[in-house]
């Protein structure tokens, strides 16, 4: 009986380690932004919301009609830097993208299914 309890204890300890070794799931990816909402860009299939806090800009794309899984993505680029894009198949939101912008202009692109919006340079 003691061996059975010891074995179950070992398995109980081993299970969390296996779970931590797995790649992070989408639930661990941030889907909201810190700061205040400064711009919104509506388009046919969704809306992109841009947030700002000192030195940083964050954006997230939301689907207008949540439901089935669809391709949702958001891209943020600070002037002079490479664009940062994140996306997945989800029911209503993209992962949040935060970039260090300082006082530079940024541009944002959002996509839900076949619809998309591109902001041009903003927050200059």
| Domains of the chain, start order | 30-118 (2.60.120)
One-character DSSP codes across 5-49: HHHHHHHHHHHHHHHHHSPP-GGGS--S-SSEEEEEEEETTEEEE
CA distance 40 to 107: 12
59 within 8 A of 33, measured Cβ to Cβ: yes
Band the pLDDT of 87: cuts 50, 70, 90. very high
CA distance 78 to 88: 22
**Stretch 4-18: mean pLDDT, rounded?**
43
In whole numbers, what is the pLDDT of the chain averaged over residues?
81
């Amino acid at each position: 009986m003691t061996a059975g309890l010891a074995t179950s204890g070992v398995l109980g300890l081993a299970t969390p380690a296996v779970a931590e070794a797995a790649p992070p799931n989408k639930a661990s990816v941030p889907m909201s932004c810190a700061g205040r909402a400064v711009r919104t860009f509506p388009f046919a299939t969704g809306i992109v919301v841009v947030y700002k806090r000192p030195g940083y800009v964050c954006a997230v794309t939301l689907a207008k009609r949540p439901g089935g899984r669809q391709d949702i993505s958001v891209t943020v680029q600070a002037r002079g830097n490479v664009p940062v894009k994140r996306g997945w198949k989800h029911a209503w939101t993209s992962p949040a993208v935060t970039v260090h912008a300082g006082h530079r202009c940024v541009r944002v692109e959002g996509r839900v299914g076949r619809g998309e919006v591109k902001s041009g340079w903003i927050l200059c």
